Amino acid sequence: MPDTRWTPADRPPEVRADDVFRALADASRRLLLDRLRTRNGQTLRELCAGLAMSRQAVSKHLAVLEAARLVTSVRSRREKLHYLDAAPIQELSDRWIGKYERGGLDPPARWKRNLKEELPVEKPEFVYEIYIETTPQRLYEALTDADFAQRYFGGWGPKSDWRVGSPVLWKMGPEGAYEDLGQAVIEAVPGRKLAYTWHRILPMHRQLFDSDEEFERARTEQSQVAFDIQPADPASLGVKLTITHDGFESTDSEMLKGVSGGWVMILSTLKTLIEREQG
C-alpha cells in the first residue's frame, strides 16, 4: 500500500512528543478529550456546555490539541465538528511506556488512526485526512473526472455531471458499465468540497450476513461521503483532503467496515498519481 504520509522533504513537520505531552499536561484539555471519547464529532458549543470555562478558553485549548494532532476538526455545513484522534497517544505509549512493560504493547495499525468505529460514538463515521502536493483545483478535478477516478478506484468509480441533485453513476469493475445505484450529488463546490450519497448494500454482499432478514435490514442503510479540500499549512506544500463517510446505523455496519480500509487505499493511490504529475 502506498504511504499516506508526506516525505520529509515535502510534508508538514511531524508532531513532536513534547507537543503531545504538553497538550495532555492540562486537566482542562484532558477533560475535552474525555468528552470527545464519550461522544465524538462535537461542536464548540456542545463542548462548552456545562464547563466552567469561557468559549474563548475552550477554543484555545482545542487549538493546542489540534496542533498536537490529538483533535481533528471538520467543517460540516455551517458547523465545525471536533474528533478525537488517539493515535499520537498510542504512539507515545509505544515509544515511552510500552518498551518498559512486560510483553510490550501492540503497535496500532496506521490506517486506523481516524477510524471512529473504535470509539463509543452515537453516530459512527469514518474520518480520514491526507496531505497531497497539488492545487485545490487539480484535486477537485481528480475527484470528479470519471476516467481518472477509475485509475485510483482500481477500475471502479463514479461518474456524474456533478450538479447538486444529479445522479452519481457507478462503474462496477474494469469491464463493467456505469449503473444507477441510487446515488446523488449533495454538494459540489469546485476546489473546496464534493459530497454525494453512497450506494446501499448490494446483492454481491449477501455472504457477509447470517440471514436474509439481516441482509434486507442492512440494505435500508444509505450513507454519504464528503471530500473537504483545504490549503495545507504552510499552503505552499499543497492541500489537505479530509474525507468524512457517515450516515451508518451502527458500528457493526458492514458498509462502514468495508469503506474504512478501502478509502485509505484509494486515497493513497490518488495521492501517488497526482504527485507523480508534479515530477
What is the tens place of the pLDDT at every residue in 116-143? 444 444 567 888 888 899 999 999 999 9
Task: Report pLDDT for 96.
Answer: 66
Q: Which residue has the higher pLDDT, 114 or 47?
A: 47
> What pLDDT shows up at residue 216?
84
State the average pLDDT over residues 201-217.
78
What does the DSSP assignment read for 232-245? Answer: -SSGGG-EEEEEEE
Q: Where residue 273 falls among pLDDT bands split at 50, 70, 90?
A: very high
The percent of residues above 70 in pLDDT, for the chain, comes to 80
CA dihedral 42, 30, 11, 140 (to 10 degrees): 0
The predicted structure's pLDDT at residue 193:
95
Closest CA to 37 of 91, 89, 102: 89
Inter-CA distances, 249 with 82, 152, 252, Å:
20, 28, 8
In this prediction, residue 202 has a pLDDT band, given cuts at 50, 70 and 90, of confident
pLDDT at 251: 78
What's the mean pLDDT in 2-7? 37
The 3-state DSSP class for residue 159 equals strand
Q: Is the dihedral of CA 190, 192, 197, 202 positive or negative?
A: positive
- Looking at residue 118, what is its pLDDT? 44
Bigger pLDDT: 175 vs 204: 175
Give the Cα separation of 9 and 189 in Å (integer): 31
Range from 63-67, 169-173, 195-199, 252-256 that averages highest in pLDDT: 195-199
Instruction: Parse the chain into domains and list their residue ranges.
Output: 17-108, 126-278
* pLDDT confidence band for 256 (50 / 70 / 90): confident
Query: Which pLDDT value is given to residue 226?
Result: 95
Superfamily of domain 126-278, CATH level 4: START domain (3.30.530.20)
109 or 214, which is more confident: 214
* 158, pLDDT greater than 70: yes
Q: What is the pLDDT of residue 173?
A: 77
Rounded to 5, what percent of the chain is helix, strand, coil? Answer: 40, 20, 35
CATH hierarchy code of domain 17-108: 1.10.10.10
Pick 232 or 33 by higher pLDDT.
Answer: 33
Does position 36 have pLDDT exceeding 80, yes or no?
Answer: yes
Are 196 and 231 contacting, i.e. CB atoms less than 8 angstroms apart? no
Specify the pTM: 0.58
Q: What is the pLDDT of residue 107?
A: 46
% of the chain with per-residue pLDDT over 90: 27
**The pLDDT of residue 225 is above 60:** yes
